[in-house]
């Protein structure tokens, strides 16, 4: 039996799935926990638990007796006060349960760049100046990421485990049924554009179209989580986690379009939000899925129009410095163009989106 027993919380999500798969490939004993369905991944044991219920997660914690916890989930609420209450309670329940086993050595908490941009209620209104650095002070807004950090630090002191906080930008990678998955959303958008002839136009703001930005490949984030959990010099710190390159969407949009087999439309100079344009998409997708034999006919389990609009509609530049990770020894880089193209290839191979069809 492996000496390293990982409990991945949120294992069916984008970050959790990729972390669990990477841990399993690296020889760890891995248990993935989620509230609903289990995950289908080689080497990953799947358990169900409701982490809003202390007794439910305590039962799992005693069974697994994890040495390492990777916390990769959140629950969206209507207000930031609700986010703080619910997401704070979920993390607290996990840490109390796993800390009480006496086996816990390390917790990796995944948050994100809203640490620097602000919560949804005040998103990008008074953000930090990019590139974002981990030493920048917290913003003057309530933010459930800040609450989670405080809960983590308190539990680490009481139970004696090490910790790291990981702040990715928009995460690109493979999973289904995730509410924050721009890569899959864009792949579905491309398939709809091929099917219906709607223009495949960049839906976001001029600032995002022409400004500097970055993304985070879920595979790289998984490597970063494991690196931090197994590198003593990295312990008890917060880290930005991005691919290590930057780009402009005016160029990346052409690469994304080519990867999806669709012509990029001219940018109109203003946002054209997907959520406003996709009212008929569900019925069209059911038709495509039936004809092409796709695995998921319910478009709502694939796309996040609202979240992609939020990412691409920012009116500020958004990119993060990776110098702190580099100095601590994490030197992995990922080409962002390849992050999209690799994902599109896998989505076609898994029959999530249709193969490219020559429309000429």
* Catalytic residue IDs: 114, 145
Other Cβ atoms closer than 10 A to 186: 25
Residue 183 CA to residue 339 CA, distance in Å, equals 9
Instruction: Record the tokens describing residue 44, joined without a space.
Output: 């990953």
Residues facing 318 on adjacent strands: 213
Q: Which residues touch 358 (CB under 8 Å, ≥6 apart)?
A: none
Residue 325 CA to residue 110 CA, distance in Å, equals 15
Q: In Å, how far from its chain's centre is CA 146?
A: 18
- Our CA angle for 145, 148, 245, nearest 5°, is 45
Other Cβ atoms closer than 10 A to 43: 14
CA distances from 179 to 28, 76, 133, 184, 300 (A): 28, 9, 27, 10, 9
List b or e across 80-100, with b for residues whose CB sees 16 or more CB atoms inside 10 angstroms: beebbebbbbbbbbbbbbbbe
Residue 40 burial by Cβ neighbours in a 10 Å radius (0-12, 13-18, 19+): exposed
Is residue 44 a contact partner of residue 11, using CB atoms and an 8 Å limit? yes
Residues facing 165 on adjacent strands: 109, 238
């Amino acid at each position: 039996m492996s000496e390293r027993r990982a409990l991945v919380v949120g294992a069916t999500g984008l970050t959790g799935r990729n972390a669990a798969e990477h841990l399993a490939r690296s020889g760890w004993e891995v248990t993935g926990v989620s509230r609903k369905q289990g995950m289908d991944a080689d080497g990953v044991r799947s358990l169900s638990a409701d982490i809003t219920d202390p007794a439910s997660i305590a039962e799992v914690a005693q069974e697994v007796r994890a040495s390492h916890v990777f916390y990769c989930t959140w629950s969206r609420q209507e207000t930031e006060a609700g986010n703080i209450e619910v997401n704070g309670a979920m993390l607290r329940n996990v840490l109390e349960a796993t800390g009480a086993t006496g086996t816990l050595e390390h917790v990796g908490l995944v948050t994100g760049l809203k640490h620097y941009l602000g919560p949804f209620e005040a998103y990008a209104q008074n953000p930090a100046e990019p590139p974002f650095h981990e030493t920048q002070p917290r913003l003057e807004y309530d933010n459930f990421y800040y609450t989670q950090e405080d809960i983590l630090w308190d539990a680490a002191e009481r139970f004696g485990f090490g910790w790291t906080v990981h702040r990715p930008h928009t995460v690109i990678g493979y999973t289904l049924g995730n509410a924050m998955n721009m890569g899959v959303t864009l792949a579905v958008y491309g398939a709809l554009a091929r099917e219906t002839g709607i223009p495949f136009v960049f839906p976001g703001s001029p600032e995002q179209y022409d400004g500097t930005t970055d993304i985070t490949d879920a595979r790289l984030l998984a490597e970063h989580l494991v690196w931090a959990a197994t590198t003593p010099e990295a312990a008890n710190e917060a880290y930005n986690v991005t691919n290590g390159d930057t780009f402009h969407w005016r160029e990346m949009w052409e690469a994304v379009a080519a990867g999806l087999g669709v012509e990029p439309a001219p940018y109109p100079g203003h946002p054209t939000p997907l959520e406003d344009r996709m009212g008929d998409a569900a019925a069209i997708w059911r038709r495509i899925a039936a004809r092409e034999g796709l695995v998921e006919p319910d478009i709502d389990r694939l796309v996040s129009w609202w979240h992609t609009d939020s990412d691409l509609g920012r009116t500020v530049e958004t990119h993060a410095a990776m110098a702190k990770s580099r100095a601590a020894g994490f030197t992995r880089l990922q080409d962002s163009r390849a992050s999209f193209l690799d994902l599109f290839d896998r989505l076609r191979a898994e029959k999530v989106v249709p193969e490219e069809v020559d429309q000429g």
